[in-house]
């Protein structure tokens, strides 16, 4: 916890080594927990955990384009839906699973790239408009082209049954498949945002003119961010179909996009850990609110959303930092939280190996 209070101060080699071991230990504990969880939980819990993995990947994509690159996207649900429909089509036509997954990644990525090639010239709200149009146009299209999509009834599939030899129940098997995909996506995304491309995302978000002067093309960077976001959206669609076994035009409605944006901000903009927290929030709050009072789900979820925004404007990921600050500066008035781009750094000691933190500051 010591590193949490002073993420920016110069940490000695000894303490950074301990922090590193702590980080590795945390990842190890997390990995064991992820592997063991479905074996000891009910199918219902496994379904919820799998849902978190699904929406974590969707929010991850959104976070890359919105949190890291600063480009508003209100269309992530369209890519989720597109991925789910491609997966359903592939399964109903007997395509092999890996090929279907590949197509669920590539086709939305190409669509996203084409949209971005036209839209990335636009700034702010014009861009928001174009992304907003994707689910709005997508829903009636999905209803219309019913030979591909099953129309308003949607497509029911039955796949990804656990192989007999493994001895797992279907829900456990599906959990492992989606969590594996999610872990791969997160590891790749984490490396991406920590590297050269991540830095170009950050500078484009900060100031496009400066980016240009540093030889980073804002246009290409934005197109790339959009393409990655769409790719992850499509993959999450594949995962969605894996656990829900059903998709319909409802999968891509605009409201889902809005809720994903809310979940991303709640979790923590421009933060990998925040993305997971956002997904947990996205899945669990409606479930818990429904358990408190099933006819007041919306009211309770909205109130929780507002409360979190009031208390933690930089997202759930800033909670440890916020607590630390309250503890360390009891006399002084609490300062407003730092810019959201820095939220990842503060959260790192909690779960990820902090070796890369020093990397980022150098």
Partner 1 sequence: MSYFIQVVVDGLSNGAIYAAIALAIVLVYRATGLINFAQGGMAVTATFVAYALTRVGVPVLLALVVAVVFGFLLGALLERGVMRHFEGGDPDTAVVATIALLVVLSGLSAYFFGYEPHPFPSLFPNRTIEVLGVFVSLRSIGTITVLLVVMIALQLLFRSTKLGLAMRAVADNPRSSALSGLPVSRLLMIGWGLAAALGAIAGVLVAPQLFISPGMLDFVLVYALASAILGGLDSPIGAVVAAAFIGVVENLAGAYLDFIGDDLKIAVPFIAVIVILVVRPQGLFGRKVTVRV
Distance of alpha carbon 345 from alpha carbon 228, whole angstroms: 22
Region from 6-14, 51-59, 99-107, 132-140 binding partner 1, contact rule CB under 8 A: 132-140
In angstroms, what is the minimal distance from the CB of 132 to partner 1?
7
Nearest residue to 270 (alpha-carbon basis) of 172, 168, 194, 177: 194
* SS3 state of residue 94: coil
Residue 158 or 291: which CB sits closer to partner 1? 291
Among 180, 210, 214, 288, binds partner 1 (CB under 8 A): 210
Q: 340-353: b or e for each residue (b if 16 or more CB lie within 10 Å)?
A: bbbbbbbbbbbebb
From candidates 51, 271, 301, 318, binder to partner 1 by CB under 8 A: 301
**Residues 218-257, mask of contacts with partner 1 (x by CB under 8 A):** ------------------------------------xx--
Q: Rule CB under 8 A: is residue 128 a binding residue for partner 1? A: yes
Number of residues that bind partner 1 (CB under 8 A): 49
Strand partners, 156: 246
Decide whether 128 or 162 has the Cβ nearer to partner 1: 128
Nearer to partner 1, 96 or 336 (CB): 336
Strand, coil or helix: what is 42?
coil
Q: For residue 156, which phi and psi values (nearest 5 degrees)?
A: -105, 130
- Length, in residues, of the chain: 362
Measured from the CB of residue 16, what is the shortest distance to partner 1 in angstroms?
30
The pair phi, psi for residue 338, each rounded to 5°, is -65, 175
**DSSP codes joined into one string, 336-352:** PPPPGGGHHHHHHHHHS
Distance CA 219, CA 19 (A): 38
Task: Give me the least distance between CB of 262 and partner 1, in Å please.
Answer: 5
- At 306, is the secondary structure helix, strand, or coil? helix
For helices 13-40 and 43-62, angle between their N-to-C axes, nearest 10 degrees: 130
C-beta of residue 227 within 8 angstroms of C-beta of residue 73:
no
Question: Residue 314: which of 334, 335, 343 has the closest Cα?
Answer: 343
Using the rule CB under 8 A, is 144 a contact of partner 1?
yes
Residue 255 CB-half CA count within 13 A: 4
Which of 46-54, 153-161, 183-191, 289-297 is the region at the interface with partner 1 (rule: CB under 8 A)? 289-297
Q: Is 311 in the site for partner 1 (CB under 8 A)?
A: no
Strands (E), the chain: 155-156, 246-247
| In the complex, minimum distance from the CB of residue 138 to partner 1, in angstroms, rounded to a whole number | 9
Binders of partner 1 among residues 259 to 288 (CB under 8 A) are 261-262, 265-266, 269
The answer to whether 136 contacts partner 1 (rule: CB under 8 A) is: yes
Q: In angstroms, give the least distance from the CB of 211 to partner 1.
A: 11
Q: How far is the CB of 310 from partner 1 (least distance, A)?
A: 6
In the list 39, 187, 214, 298, the residue contacting partner 1 (rule: CB under 8 A) is 298
**Residue 330, class by beta-carbon neighbours within 10 Å (0-12 exposed, 13-18 middle, 19+ buried)?**
exposed
> With respect to partner 1, which residue has the nearer C-beta, 228 or 253?
253
Examine residue 59 and tell whether it contacts partner 1 (CB under 8 A). no
Interaction site with partner 1 (CB under 8 A): 66, 118-119, 121-123, 125-126, 128-130, 132-133, 136-137, 140-141, 143-144, 207-210, 254-255, 258, 261-262, 265-266, 269, 295-303, 305-306, 309-310, 313-314, 336, 339-340
């Amino acid at each position: 916890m010591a590193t949490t209070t002073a993420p920016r101060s110069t940490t000695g080699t000894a303490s950074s080594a301990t922090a590193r071991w702590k980080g590795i230990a945390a990842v190890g504990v997390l990995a064991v927990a992820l592997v063991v969880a479905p074996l000891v939980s009910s199918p219902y819990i496994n379904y919820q955990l799998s849902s978190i993995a699904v929406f974590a990947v969707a929010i991850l994509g959104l976070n890359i384009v919105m949190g890291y690159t600063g480009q508003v996207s209100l269309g992530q649900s369209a890519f989720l839906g597109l991925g789910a429909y491609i997966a359903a089509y592939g399964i109903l036509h007997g395509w092999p699973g890996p090929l279907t997954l590949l197509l669920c990644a590539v086709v939305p990525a190409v669509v996203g790239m084409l949209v971005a090639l036209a839209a990335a010239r636009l700034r702010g709200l014009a861009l928001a408009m174009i992304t907003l149009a994707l689910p709005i146009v997508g829903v009636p299209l999905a209803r219309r082209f019913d030979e591909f999509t099953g129309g308003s009834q949607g497509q029911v599939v039955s796949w990804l049954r656990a192989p007999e030899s493994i001895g797992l129940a279907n829900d456990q098997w599906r959990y492992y498949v989606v969590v594996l995909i999610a872990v791969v996506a997160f590891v790749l995304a984490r490396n991406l945002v920590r590297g050269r491309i991540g830095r170009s995302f950050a500078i484009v978000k900060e100031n496009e003119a400066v980016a240009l002067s540093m030889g980073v093309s804002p246009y290409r960077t934005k197109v790339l961010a959009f393409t990655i976001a769409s790719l992850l959206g499509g993959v999450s669609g594949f995962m969605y179909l894996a656990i829900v076994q059903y998709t319909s035009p409802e999968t891509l409605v605009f409201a889902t996009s809005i809720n994903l944006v809310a979940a991303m901000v709640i979790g923590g903009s421009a933060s990998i850990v925040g993305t997971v927290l956002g997904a947990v929030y996205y899945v669990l709050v409606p479930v818990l609110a429904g358990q408190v009072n099933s006819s007041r789900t919306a009211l309770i979820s909205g109130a929780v959303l507002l409360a979190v925004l009031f208390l933690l404007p930089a997202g759930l990921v800033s909670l440890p930092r916020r607590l630390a600050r309250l503890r360390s500066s009891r006399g002084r008035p609490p300062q407003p939280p730092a810019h959201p781009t820095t939220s990842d750094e503060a959260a790192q000691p909690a779960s990820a190996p902090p070796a890369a933190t020093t990397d980022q500051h150098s």
